[in-house]
A and B are shown apart, each in its own frame.
Chain A
Amino acid sequence: MRYLLSFILRHHFTFLFILLEVIAVWLVVNHSFYQHSRVTGMISEMTGSVQTRINSVYEYLHLKKVNESLAMENALLRSKLKESYLLTDTMRFYQSDTANKQEYSYLYAKVISNDVKSRSNYLMLNKGSRHGIRTDMAVISPDGIVGIVSKVSSNFCWVNSMLHKQTRISARIRKNGFVGTITWDGMNHAYGRLQDIPANVQLSKGDTVVTSGYSHIFPPNLMIGTIADYRVAEGYNFYDISLKFSQEYNRLSWVYVVTDFYRDEKIYLERFRVDE
């Protein structure tokens, strides 16, 4: 026992180092597996309120651009109003409420912290479980898609950004309907990768890529980006496509969280899928 104690005392520097390093690694691993303990939720609430204050200053600096995009979106929405259409035949515009059930609704939220420079990036929004946010909800913006809600506290939520090493989004090339998967390689935050498109498909630069709606998370036909470059690696039957995101991820300030009214039903049905 005395030898053990004197051994530990003699090498206290190394032992303390190992102890602290184990704590640090434990924290990292615990965090990356998304087992959200109540402690991290509490810290989120605390730093959330600090971040809100810091962000209000940065928000002010971006007011002009935000106003511009809001005004543009207002104009777009106004143009979709019933009043904006010329009514030539009133019967044609009659809608029965029971025939048209709403599938998606949108809740606006403010981005109070955002990041694009890590390998896995997160956003914090100022809406939480009190406002009906749940995990795995889609987050979109006027210009594109933003990410998926990963952690919710009562007033705030964390969102796994598109720029995350685990993000895989099912996407469709609008021109011809082929479906592939979008990932992000961690380098430039303006470009993602689209894979799984067979090499015999005709592509051209600038083709629009939209969400496929296959994942039960994102509604279909939302703009993701355009094809910036594509090539087929020697010996492969699939394209490696570089995708320019339509949303600039370092300029986000207002986003929409999508509620899918039929999500539970879709997921319930999926349990009966038999793998053979």
Chain B
Amino acid sequence: MNNRVLQNIFRLIILVAVQILILNRVQFMGFINPYLYVMFILLLPFELAKWQLLLYAFGTGLIIDIFANTYGLHAGACTLMAYARPAVLKLLTSRKEYEPGLKPGIRDLGFNWFFSYASILILVHHAFLFFMEAFRFSEFFSTLLRVFLNGLVTLLLVFIAQYLFFKKEARI
């Protein structure tokens, strides 16, 4: 149990460091900027109480906010994402029920499940983030374009990270 808590803290530190040091400085095509750190919220264990989920997500967003100088933007987006997570889980109940000990990820629940799970939640996160940032609807379609393009790149990175770092654990 303790081991899993440590594992999650370690994952948070790595993802936040990667986000602040590398990804926040990436500008692909001028405005595409992936937010890989949301993977931390995607991979939080199923057993977590709902209120814990909200607080952890809010805290994660706040850390990113402090370093990106976007007070509240990421915190709000992450909180909305955490609020949507139980509903999405209920929606996607696969044949395997979420047994205790099962972790969200490709390894335990398969590609299709993880693809729908991650893409819905990333879309929720990015939609809140970019519309809140624009703070008006006069630029609705260009904002929507940013949501989808950025979401696509984030999703791609999440999958790459999954295959790079989480497949290997299965063999150990």
A residues sitting closer than 8 Å to B (CB atoms) are: 12-14, 16-17, 20-21, 23-28, 30-32, 40, 43-44, 47, 50, 54, 58, 113, 116-120, 122, 124, 158, 165, 185-190, 250
Number of residue pairs spanning A and B whose beta carbons lie under 8 angstroms apart: 99
Across the interface, do A28 and B27 meet the contact criterion of CB distance under 8 Å? no
Q: Residue B83 at the A interface, CB < 8 A?
A: yes
B31 contact from A13, A17, A187, Cβ within 8 A:
A187
Please, which residue of chain A has its CB at the minimum distance from the CB of B32? A117
Given contacts A13-B50, A17-B54, A119-B133, 10 further A-B contacts (CB under 8 A): A24-B58, A24-B79, A26-B72, A27-B65, A31-B71, A40-B71, A47-B69, A54-B20, A186-B139, A250-B27
B residues sitting closer than 8 Å to A (CB atoms) are: 20-21, 25, 27, 30-33, 50-51, 54-55, 58, 61, 65-67, 69-73, 75-76, 79-80, 82-83, 86, 132-135, 139, 142
Across the interface, do A25 and B72 meet the contact criterion of CB distance under 8 Å? yes
Across the interface, do A27 and B72 meet the contact criterion of CB distance under 8 Å? yes
CA–CA, A23 to B57, complex, Å? 13
Please list 9 pairs of residues, one from A and one from B, whose beta carbons are closer than 8 Å in the complex, sorted by A's number: A13-B83, A20-B79, A23-B72, A30-B72, A31-B72, A32-B135, A54-B21, A116-B30, A187-B30
Across the interface, do A27 and B30 meet the contact criterion of CB distance under 8 Å? no
Across the interface, do A188 and B30 meet the contact criterion of CB distance under 8 Å? yes
CA–CA, A14 to B113, complex, Å? 26
A16 contact from B51, B67, B132, Cβ within 8 A:
B51
Across the interface, do A47 and B66 meet the contact criterion of CB distance under 8 Å? yes
Across the interface, do B72 and A118 meet the contact criterion of CB distance under 8 Å? no
CA–CA, A185 to B138, complex, Å? 11
B70 contact from A21, A26, A118, A124, Cβ within 8 A:
A118
